[in-house]
Amino acid sequence: MHSHLNDMANHKSALKRIRQNEARKLRNRYYHKTARTAMKVLRNEEDKTAAAEQLPKVISLLDKLAKKNIIHKNKAANLKSKLTKHVNKLA
């Protein structure tokens, strides 16, 4: 993780910024991946009641991502709309 600290900045603040960015990148990547997996699980769900149960949780995850600017709010809205339509289509 610290390999790229040496060949870049010399300022204390810049080094800290690099460390923070790295930590945030990993955290954001984890959140994003978790949400994507949850969406995949929801899309593959055949049972309507189970899907309807999962939907609010997935929507909540997407809203959190949008709030933290990990994904754009319009993209979040788009995904929520698609997933809701998918769940409603299940018989």
Map out the domains of the chain as residue ranges.
12-89
pLDDT level of residue 38 (50, 70, 90 thresholds): very high
CB atoms within 10 A of CB 30: 10
**Buried b / exposed e across 33-55, counting CB within 10 Å, b at 16+?**
eebeebbeebeebeeeeebeebb
pLDDT tens by residue, 45-87: 889 899 999 999 999 999 999 999 999 999 999 999 999 999 9
More confident residue, 80 or 9: 80
**Fold classification of 12-89 (topology level):** Methane Monooxygenase Hydroxylase; Chain G, domain 1 (1.20.58)
Which pTM was predicted?
0.76
> Left, alpha or beta for 90 (phi > 0: left; psi -120 to 50: alpha)?
beta
Which two tokens mark 50?
A: 């189970």
